Amino acid sequence: MLKRFAIRTFKSEIEKEVAKQVALSVTESDNTFYPSAASNLYRDRFDFDRITIVNEALRAWRINPIARRLVELTNQFVLGADGINWSCKHKHTSKFIDEFWNHRLNQLDIQISEWLDELTRSGDLFLLFSVDDAGMSFIRAIPPEQIKDIQTRENDYRQELYYIKTAIDETPYPAYDPTDAEQKSFVLHYAVNRPAGAVWGESDLAPVLKWIGHYSSWLENRAMLNRFRTAFMFVLRGQFQSESDKKKRQAELNANPPRSGSVLVTDPSEEWGTLSANLDAFDASADGLSIKKNIALGAGIPMHFLAEPESSTRTTAEAAGTPTFRRFEQRQKYLLWMLEDVLKTVITIRKRHDARVKTDADIELRGNDISERDNAALALAASQIETTFGDLYDRGLIDEQEFMRLVYRFSGEVLDTDQPIPKGIRKSVNTDWRRSPTAAKQPEPVAKAKVDKETGDVTAPAENQ
């Protein structure tokens, strides 16, 4: 009687995976795939499970490379390599800002990066201010999940009064009150992606959390299927005198299983073979690409930012970057406004102890360029506009102030109209040098660089032959 037994190399794992795939094919359908538990978290404008969403965004940032990269991209483009620079023309105010900014307990160059990450992850930033007896402020960010509720005035949701902590027995944080000269501790709240009428912001990761999870599951399933597709187990068929002889032979082979590349020597009574899982999985690359596109769309970035070339056309990649840069520019403007508000607050508090600082001093905050391509394009525009409007100035059609304003505008800078405009020297345009005796000695016109209208690339002029 022909009997069988098998060496269980990967049998249990194969059986589990096959059972899992069968279960998915039964339970997952067009009616069950799209809805998920996350959809119940978004109910309406005022009632949604904010704490759960914030915790899920933080968890995704910790363990998922796509979520971590989305937060890093915002930080890298908005802050850049040099961070935020500031300047103040008032001497004593500038000295105090420098002391506050670089204080050992503040170190805003480090904290600003953490604040921006928190704004991106949770949509809310709560800054706790502590003031010492000399009027110096110290700032710490409060995790948003520690704030349970925000109390506002009954007639205006934008006038925040108290921030209720998650722990019931703790005293709530008071909001900043400019009229309270004795206030030593308070909180400033900043929010992004805030719907009109709501007091809470929303995370940049909230629209893509579900799809990040789907992509991770899809990628894990594909890796598991590829693993089991290459797995196999040996099958030995033979004739045994008794059940004890079969079990003895099975125990012997389990103790010393055949290794890959080894030679098996058998007698005519044994027949060896292999058994592998028949897991038919069609090409799912289109599914993975579709999920990744949805993530990129929700995050507002092009596909090649997620290590997905998708298209080999450089023009397409360049054009896709324009709306992304606009989004980062908007976030940078909000960050600069937030930091200006923080500086004005600490200066107002310092004014109570030091009359030399000015609360109305002009403070200029500057961020890095979002795209390095803008610098080359601005330099080219400035060089060409200087030639064009310089001729109008030489002919007396525009004055010095208008000429300087146009040059600064096309250079991407703002002309300081409070400073006196220098008196220019107009070049004579009455004599045509081409008709002069020295015309032959004049150099040929030099070709100018050009900017490609589609890609934005700057093409250097070829050398004159």
**CB of 162 closer than 8 Å to CB of 172:** yes
Q: Locate tokens 């600003």: which residue?
A: 112
Q: In Å, how far from its chain's centre is CA 335?
A: 14
Give the tens place of pLDDT for each residue, 114-132. 999 999 999 999 999 999 9
Q: Which among 94-98, 263-267, 430-434, 447-451 has the top mean pLDDT?
A: 94-98
Give the pLDDT confidence score for residue 95 in this predicted structure.
94
Does the pLDDT at position 224 exceed 90? Answer: no
Give the tens place of pLDDT for each residue, 49-76. 888 889 999 999 999 888 999 999 999 8
Give the pLDDT confidence score for residue 43 in this predicted structure.
58
Give the tens place of pLDDT for each residue, 159-209. 999 999 988 778 899 999 998 888 999 999 999 999 888 899 999 998 888
Does the pLDDT at position 106 exceed 90? Answer: yes
Q: To the nearest whole number, what is the mean pLDDT of the chain?
A: 77
Tokens representing residue 83 in the block: 């961070």
Tokens representing residue 431 in the block: 């004599």
**Widest Cα–Cα separation across the chain:** 120
Burial class (CB in 10 A: 0-12, 13-18, 19+), 410: buried
DSSP 273-332: EEEE--------HHHHHHHHHHHHHHHT--GGGGT------HHHHHHHHHHHHHHHHHHH
| Contacts for 12 with CB less than 8 Å, ≥ 6 apart | none
Instruction: Give the helix/strand (H/E) hosting 243.
Output: helix 243-255
Give the tens place of pLDDT for each residue, 275-324. 566 655 556 667 777 778 777 777 777 777 776 665 555 555 555 667 77
Does the pLDDT at position 30 exceed 60? Answer: no
Total length of the chain: 465
Rounded to an integer, what distance in angstroms lies between the CA atom of residue 381 and that of residue 375? 10
Give the tens place of pLDDT for each residue, 323-360. 778 888 899 999 999 999 999 999 999 999 999 999 99
pLDDT bucket at 36, cuts 50 / 70 / 90? very low
Task: Give me the residues paired with residue 187 across strands.
Answer: 128, 175
pLDDT bucket at 442, cuts 50 / 70 / 90? very low
**CB of 166 closer than 8 Å to CB of 144:** no
Does the pLDDT at position 435 exceed 70? Answer: no
Name the nearest CA neighbour of 301 among 320, 274, 283, 282. Answer: 320
Name which residue leads in pLDDT, 430 or 148.
Answer: 148
Interval 371-380 mean pLDDT: 63
**Predicted TM-score of the model (pTM):** 0.66
Q: What share of the chain has pLDDT > 90, as a percent?
A: 32
